[in-house]
Amino acid sequence: MIVAGVDIGSQTSKAVVLKEDHVFRSALFPTGTDLYAVARKVVENAAQELGHTFDDIQRIVATGYGRVSVPFAADTMSEITCNAVGAYHFYPDARLVVDIGGQDSKAIKINDEGKVVNFAMNDKCAAGTGRFLEVAAETLGVSVAELAALSRRSGNRIRISSTCTVFAQTEIVSLIARRTPQEDIAAGLHESIVSRVYGLINSIGPGDTGRVVMTGGVARNDAIVSLLASTMKREITVPEDPQIVTAFGAALVAKSRLGSE
């Protein structure tokens, strides 16, 4: 049995190819503008990693915002469902998944069978997403990783009042002009994202039992993870590769549907 899940996100595309039970390989590329080409490329790449070709794959499920541009997928499924399936697979005691990706953030409550019981997603703007951090880092002239490092050294977190990405940029410029230490601005920016995401989490009635799992590209930012954990007063688990959890979930869905037609 060889199946694949492909997650075409707004900034990165991920694929997971799953062989038999647990042998899998993943690939990740920037999404770009040709969604079909990138979808094909990530799947092929992950298949090759496993010593197979694209044609060996028996079933593919596509997810993410570009899911409808993957004609070779047998099914599509929303990234929220796939994310929950993936997170539950790695951590059967997960009851809350927080996913912060390039342009959206999500909070997903799952039950003891891994089913989605409630979820919320950020609204139209990029506040509370990875994009917010990227724009802020660019404005400060540092990388996102450096921004996180700076934030950890802050002794006096500044409050960034603009949640809007564009306004936050202006605010950063005026903070720099006022000679506010970069560390404190960085800490304020992290705080701003965390407070948006915290609101999102609370809107679904997250409960206080079970494991909290964080996925998506921003889960690699340990400054965000630890700030969110202390705000929530909960421990947060980050999978080894937090960016491929949704694609993994899609592959599991493909596996469950194999031979169902």
Partner 1 sequence: MGTEVKIGNRLESQNRLGKLIVDHYREAREIKESKRKPIVWTTTAAPNEILWAMDFCVLFPEAYAATCGARHAAYRHCKITEDKGYEHHLCTYCRNGLGSTLADIEGLDPFDPLPAPDLLLVANNSCSLITKWWEHLSHYWDVPMIHIDTPYIIPGIQEKDVIGHIKGQIGDLIRFLEEFTGKKFDLDRLREVVRNGSESAKGYTDMIKINKHKPSPSTYFDLMPHNFPNLVLRYKPEVADHYRLMKQEMNERIREGIVPFENMKHRVYWDGIPYWFAMRFLSKKLQSLGICLVTSAYSQLFAFDRSDPERPLDSVAENTAYFYLNRDVRYKAEYTEQLYRDYDMEAGIFAYAMTCKPFSITMHYIADYVQKKLGVLSTIIEGDLVDDTFFDEEKTGIRLETFAEALESNKPSVGKVVF
d(CA 162, CA 140): 16
CB 90 within 8 A of CB 206: no
Site track 191-220 with partner 1 (rule: CB under 8 A), x = hit: ------------x-x---------------
Task: Give 207's contacts (C-beta < 8 A, 6+ positions apart).
Answer: 95, 96, 109
Which of 99, 58, 48 has its CA nearest to residue 212? Answer: 99
3 binds partner 1 (CB under 8 A): no
With CB under 8 A as the contact rule, which of the stretches 42-50, 91-99, 164-172, 248-256 interacts with partner 1? 248-256
Nearer to partner 1 (CB atom), residue 48 or residue 69: 69
Stretch that binds partner 1, among 51-59, 80-88, 216-224, 240-248 (CB under 8 A): 80-88
> For residues 18 and 172, which CB has a smaller minimum distance to partner 1 in the complex?
18
Task: Please give the span between the terminal C-alpha atoms of the chain, in angstroms, as a whole number.
Answer: 16
Q: How far is the CB of 117 from partner 1 (least distance, A)?
A: 7
- 43 neighbors 64 (Cβ within 8 angstroms): no
Q: Closer CB to partner 1, residue 85 or residue 219?
A: 85
Q: What are phi and psi of 90, to 5 degrees?
A: -75, -35
Between 9 and 188, CB nearer to partner 1:
9
Contacts 24+ apart (CB under 8 A), 254-260: 254/3, 254/4, 254/5, 254/18, 254/59, 254/60, 254/61, 254/74, 254/75, 255/1, 255/3, 255/18, 255/59, 257/59, 257/61, 257/74, 257/75, 258/1, 258/3, 258/58, 258/59
Does the protein bind partner 1 through residue 85 (CB under 8 A)?
yes
Q: Which is nearer to partner 1, 147 or 245 (CB)?
A: 245
Q: Which of 81, 139, 165, 215 binds partner 1 (CB under 8 A)?
A: 81
Site string for partner 1, 16-55 (x = CB under 8 A): ----------------------------------------
Q: Cα–Cα distance between 242 and 257 in angstroms, integer?
A: 24
**Residue 11 touching partner 1 (CB under 8 A):** no
Residue 141 DSSP code: T
For residue 104, state whether it binds partner 1 (rule: CB under 8 A): yes
Residue 185 is a binding residue for partner 1 (CB under 8 A): no
> Which residues contact partner 1 (rule: CB under 8 A)?
65, 77-81, 85, 104, 113-121, 123-124, 203, 205, 249, 252-253, 256-257
